[in-house]
Structure 1
């Protein structure tokens, strides 16, 4: 499946690219300004992806890939949305706004472009959901929720109309912490201007799964830098799907069972504690992400 192959390609890229400046977070909650700087960093990445991709892939490329003209036209609309988000956050932050970074995106044609778009939109929606609890100003929270709604709609359109999958994963979207989102977004970032303020995120060791898209009930192998992950007790594989987290034991060889009931976009990480919600996790590794197909609900489809 194209989307699964794209997730695998993204996983292979972790650790290859450099990162923006970071600061190690303590127990202090980020300020609204720091949360918006993080949000703008993500929006700049999305804006660069659509601008670069649609400059490279013209109407003929989409036609040759089997897409009708309206597919590329709607990607152009999404590009406009991301540019508007960037302008809005730039205005809100003023002189504190970060500048664009240098990026590298793993696509070669319209089909792989669409698959990367699906990853970016899905992770973007999860980023806004996870960061909502950090915002104090209610007007800022409302604006962030408005952007979240569009990111989620865009993800649904790419997933269903373009990639012919499900428009949703289940009854809940997955909220992700700033650290978790950054571990995924940094795969696309080569370098950033030294004048950008350090992001309030902690860099985490890269995580890869084998197979890259394991099935529920199967066994997956977790590969990461063991010298960078220390904990006094046992380690667990945490599986994020919606607003809940499932855990399985992580064996000494890095293997863990994939729990039943997962579907759609799934995120996995190594943790030492079984916290209650996805954003309450203290991640010991970055996130790995993969897809478990959502049934059509109709045997005739």
Structure 2
């Protein structure tokens, strides 16, 4: 790409000084490109009013569904024998690859799929920017110190917010004038400890949401820039795990989820958006709550039923932690209770794990039809039938466990559930945490992962996981396995 093209697209903010660059370009390169403007302070209150539009964005024609195909004829034709099988286009360059033929890259959306995926990512970046700033405003330096975090740690969170400004600017430049704007948000945390747990789950959801669609983008140019963004997001999630006293990385592979899963987790956090805000086409599934979510701040580590209903909201399922007793009590008990240590640390060894194979997991999920998201303008829906399984999506694995529904053993997706409703439009049940490895020595169910309730157990892998959407009854929810 020429220097002129880079400047016109606004993707890069500065240019290297080189004698081959024309003088007029050098003059323009002395100052960095501006970041996108955004409010420095927004109200954090729930939406009150009547939505003017409801439902996801739809086209004039909508098909009946994505068919289940077979292996493409050429998918297994390359011999993978370590030899070169085609003429080299240039010295030291093997044949093949996408975007390697010398054409000038254009960093834009090239399909509806691209635009809707990148717009979802921008919604996520705006939330994270506001989230980090809100916590620094809401809680004092003394509040952070009581949670075991220092002034330097606050500075790190402030720098993360600056990173989000850059991420939002880059995605906005790709999407153009209709790029989503920053909105008003509502968060469930009431203490620094709750913020940290919430932030490490929100950053995991954003990271996984982009991982899920990155390889499917038609715009390979946009994909490479998003990849460079995603590596930063992953580090943010690692840091929040360290702040929470969790081991920074307990898995060998980072998980990816479909866009509709990411939007289901994100939308309830968005209270209202500006007029004419760009809408999304992704689905919002009914909410799923983990009633006995393992809590990093609990000395019991979530291994028994004493932690029922200690989460803040469905979906993200962040921990409800008392303002003082959570981390402080854990820190006090650290010397006497093996594995109970949960104060901030670069790495924390927990001999007593947060969860374990065979653990009974209590669940509760909503019926469809609930208004969520910006201005309550999106409606939760499902195309699935009765609830039969819980899918565990972690690392490279898509694994199912049987679901036991409380009541008569059957659940429907209507406003009532054949006597199984525990609170009007809520259904409850339980499953068992599975015991499996991705590869030998790598427990697949570890770290911060995703579960959902399904009506079937189709065989799926990371590249075609979105085909599960028609089978999702409720969810996803973030499960704190370790």
> How far did residue 120 of structure 1 move?
1.7
Number of the residue aligned with 1:268:
451
Deviation at 1:156, TM superposition (A): 1.0
Q: Which of 364, 371, 380 is the matching residue for 1:223? A: 364
| Structure 2 counterpart of 1:65 | 147
Identify which range, 96-105 or 189-198, moves more after superposition.
Answer: 189-198
Per the normalisation by structure 1, the TM-score is 0.83
CA contact (8 A) 1:235 1:250 kept: yes
**Match of residue 259 from structure 2:** 178
Task: Note the residue ranges of structure 2 that are not aligned, 5 or more in a row.
Answer: 1-45, 67-110, 295-301, 303-354, 369-380, 407-428, 437-444
Question: 1:266, CA displacement in angstroms?
Answer: 2.3
Contact 2:386–2:473 (CA under 8 A) maintained in structure 1: no
- Report matched runs for 1:113-128 at 5 Å: 113-128=195-210
What are the within-5 Å matches in structure 2 for residues 153-192 of structure 1? 153-160=235-242, 162-192=243-273
Provide the C-alpha distance between the structure 2 equivalents of 1:158 and 1:134, rounded to a whole number of angstroms.
29
SS at match of 1:285: strand
Report the CA distance shift for 1:233/1:56 in structure 2 as closer, same or farther (over 3 A): closer
Which protein has greater RCO, CA pairs closer than 8 Å, 6+ apart?
1
- What's the secondary structure of 1:286's corresponding residue? strand
CA distance in 2, matches of 1:73, 1:179: 33
| Residues 252 and 58 of structure 1, relative CA distance in 2, 3 Å threshold | closer
Q: Which SS does the other structure have where 2:390 is aligned?
A: strand
Change (3 A) 1:63 1:97: same
Query: Does 1:289 pair with 2:430?
Result: no
Report matched runs for 1:1-301 at 5 Å. 22-23=56-57, 27=65, 30-160=112-242, 162-213=243-294, 215=355, 216-226=357-367, 231=384, 235-253=388-406, 254-261=429-436, 262-271=445-454, 272-278=456-462, 279-280=465-466, 281-282=468-469, 283-293=472-482
Going from structure 1 to structure 2, the CA distance change for 1:248 and 1:55 (only over 3 Å counts) comes to same
Q: Which has a greater percent of helix?
A: 1
Q: What's 1:3 paired with?
A: none
Which structure has the larger Rg over C-alpha atoms?
2
Per the TM alignment, residue 96 of structure 1 is displaced from its structure 2 partner at its CA by: 1.6
Tell me how large the CA RMSD over aligned residues is. Answer: 2.6
TM-score normalized by the length of structure 2: 0.53
